[in-house]
Amino acid sequence: MTNKTKPRIIVVGGGAAGLMAAGTAAKAGARVLLLEKMKQPGRKLAITGKGRCNLTNSAEISDCIAHFGNNGRFLRQAFHRFFNHDLIDFFADNGLKTVTERGGRVFPANGKAPEVVKTLRNWLNKNGVTIRLSSPVEELIVEDDQIVGVVAAGEEFSATAVILATGGASYPLTGSTGDGYRLAINIGHNIIPTRPALVPLTCTPPEHSSSEKPGSEK
């Protein structure tokens, strides 16, 4: 199979999911183009875990799924194909050692989240992924009910398939602004209304001083 006859996969979004999807598709033999709207990929990944990047947890599959309630069933098949030990082995094979700390939390041994992004970028380069930065995707091109490409930064790119990995709308400064919702809606998908999760709580100053016990009268 020549390079021109290989399927061309476009991955939209250079976060953790997009980087893994791009590298995996390229390793499987596809020509892969990763389009990222920011100046660097993995912006959120590079600051996660207070800058240390909590990669995964050592818990068993059943324990992890249980924490998602009824929605956990959605993850079962994916977890059986690629789970925590697979991720740890992946990073070890690509030169990044990990350590397991209390609560089963797994971190890079050097404690540096940017090194995780660097490892993923090196892996993409090794597998021949083309990365275009500062290239926001404005439109998914659909012909005969099939996606055939995208428009990014005013330029059209054809594709055999498109992987939409734009994330949510959790951290606009890192690029998570909900672009994927808009792109999906524009080609006819319905979006379940989103709501925030894991947000900080801000309260007004307490009515009681620190010396007063809960329930005591003034």
Q: Please write the tens of the pLDDT for every residue from 188-214.
A: 999 988 887 777 777 777 665 555 555
Check if the beta carbon of residue 130 is closer than 8 Å to that of residue 32: yes
Identify the structural domains of the chain with CATH numbers, from first to last: 8-53+111-186 (3.50.50.60)
Q: What is the pLDDT of residue 2?
A: 60
Write the CB contacts of 192 (distance below 8 Å, at least 6 apart in sequence): none
Check if the beta carbon of residue 54 is closer than 8 Å to that of residue 107: yes
Q: What is the pLDDT of residue 91?
A: 98
Cα 139 off chain centre by = 20
Q: What is the pLDDT of residue 208?
A: 55
Pairing state between β 161-164 and 155-158: unpaired
Check if the beta carbon of residue 26 is closer than 8 Å to that of residue 127: yes
Nearest-angstrom CA–CA distance, 59 and 86: 13
Range 134-138 average pLDDT = 97
For residue 192, the SS3 value is: coil
Q: Please write the tens of the pLDDT for every residue from 154-171.
A: 999 999 999 999 998 888
Q: What is the pLDDT of residue 3?
A: 66
Q: What is the pLDDT of residue 218?
A: 44
Cα 68 off chain centre by = 18
Q: What is the pLDDT of residue 203?
A: 79
Q: Please write the tens of the pLDDT for every residue from 47-102.
A: 999 999 999 999 999 999 999 888 899 999 999 999 999 999 999 999 999 999 99
Q: Please write the tens of the pLDDT for every residue from 1-32.
A: 566 667 899 999 999 999 999 999 999 999 99
Check if the beta carbon of residue 56 is closer than 8 Å to that of residue 92: no
> What is the chain's alpha carbon radius of gyration, rounded to the nearest angstrom?
21
Say which residue, 169 or 143, is predicted with more confidence: 143
